[in-house]
Homo-oligomer: A and B are copies of this chain.
Amino acid sequence: MKLASLKNGKRDGALIVVSRDLTRAVAADDIAPTLQAAIENWQQVVPALQARSDALNAGTAAGAFAFDQTKVASPLPRAYQWLDGSAYLSHVELVRKARGADMPKSFLDDPLMYQGSSDYFTGPHDPVLVESEDWGVDLEAELAIITDDVPMLTKQDDAKRHIKLLMLVNDISLRHIIPAELNKGFGFLNGKGVTAFSPVAVTPDELGDAWNGSKVSLPLTVNINGEKLGAPLAGEDVYFEFPKLISHAAKTRTLGAGTVIGSGTISNHDRTRGFCCISEKRALEVVEHGEAKTSFFRFGDRVRVEMFDTSGASIFGAIDNEIRPYAS
């Protein structure tokens, strides 16, 4: 089942069901008005949503219309919680190596994770608005899950069943703002700008054999202005899988239904797979050539993030954001 939120002038959009091949859609706001409402009542609404999805895929859904990826908001246009992990330590290692820092051993025991801003998510085809190119605008391409209610102290083994939906993420990171902010010791605030998600969120069964209950074994493809930045394998080198990220977040509190948890930038030790952020490419340039050659985003640049199944079909639709100046 694939779900999306049609822009309708309201903050949370209107829930729609999208066909497996992403060509058709049908309204579902009579079942649950928004995706947030659906996730809060997941067990109750799934049968009706699944029936509508089945009818849509069979070509028998009344009121079906052409699906346009540019007409939707992020699946949750805003959320009550967005937590972003750093599950791929090869990302952490490389970025630290470029600045001459080792990775602390403690990073192997306990996931890095920060509380991100979730009051407004940028749409998958919306522009990313920044004041200045000097902010050092970068992407971080990731996978994310949406959970239902997770009790405090949920263990890793019990965490799997709380994963209800998956999405792609473009977590915009402002590389020239982050260092001073992290030095203050309280984590990210200004340094993580907006975050955009894929046009659709999918139930785990849509991934077939590529989903083992904990991780997705497919490449994540990133293009900038039509040129490939990389296609690292999301199933390789993932040190902390999603159930571990959930149990870490729930150590001292419940997680409310609709909590979004990101994997962090997908990254492989095999650098020939390319990159899911510009920063890693620059870090490798520093390590290999002594200086970074690739620049961060300029106004007018476009970044595209997409995941294809083994037959070449897009699973989540594409995130396709253009970097533009903010006009206040």
| Residues of chain A at the chain B interface (Cβ within 8 Å) | 11, 40, 78-81, 83, 86, 104, 106-107, 110, 112-120, 129-131, 135, 151-153, 174, 177, 180, 182-191, 193-194, 248-249, 251-256, 258-259, 326, 328
Decide yes or no: A256 and B186 within 8 Å by CB, A79-B80, A153-B326, A328-B152 being known contacts. Answer: no
Would A186 and B113 count as touching, CB distance under 8 A? yes
Separation of A107 and B185 alpha carbons in the complex (Å): 11
Decide yes or no: A256 and B120 within 8 Å by CB, A79-B80, A115-B115, A153-B131 being known contacts. Answer: yes
Known: A119-B258, A190-B252. 15 other contacts (CB 8 A): A80-B119, A83-B189, A86-B186, A112-B184, A114-B115, A115-B187, A119-B259, A120-B256, A131-B152, A131-B153, A152-B326, A177-B252, A189-B248, A190-B248, A190-B251
Would B78 and A153 count as touching, CB distance under 8 A? no
Residue from B180, B184, B249 within 8 A of A189 (CB atoms)? B249
Would B190 and A187 count as touching, CB distance under 8 A? no
Within the complex, the shortest CB–CB distance from A150 to chain B, in Å, comes to 10
Residues in B whose Cβ lies below 8 Å from that of A189: 83, 113-115, 248-249
Give how many copies assemble into the complex. 2
Among A119, A129, A177, A258, the one with the most B-chain Cβ atoms within 10 Å of its Cβ is A119
Decide yes or no: A184 and B110 within 8 Å by CB, A194-B253, A328-B153 being known contacts. Answer: yes
Separation of A130 and B152 alpha carbons in the complex (Å): 9
Give 9 closest A-B pairs by Cβ, nearest first.
A187-B187, A119-B256, A80-B119, A81-B119, A114-B186, A115-B115, A190-B252, A190-B251, A120-B256
